Structure 1
Amino acid sequence: MSSDRDKAQAKQGRIAAAVIAGTGALWVGAQWLGAKYGWSNRTFVFFDLAALAAFIWALVVTYQIWRKRQDN
Structure 2
Amino acid sequence: MVWVLALFFLLLLALVIYQFISQQRFLKKKTSETMNKDLLEEVETEQEEMLRKKKIFDASMEEARKKINRDKEEL
**Bigger Rg over Cα:** 2
Higher relative contact order (CA 8 A, sep 6+): 1
* TM-score (norm. length: structure 1): 0.49
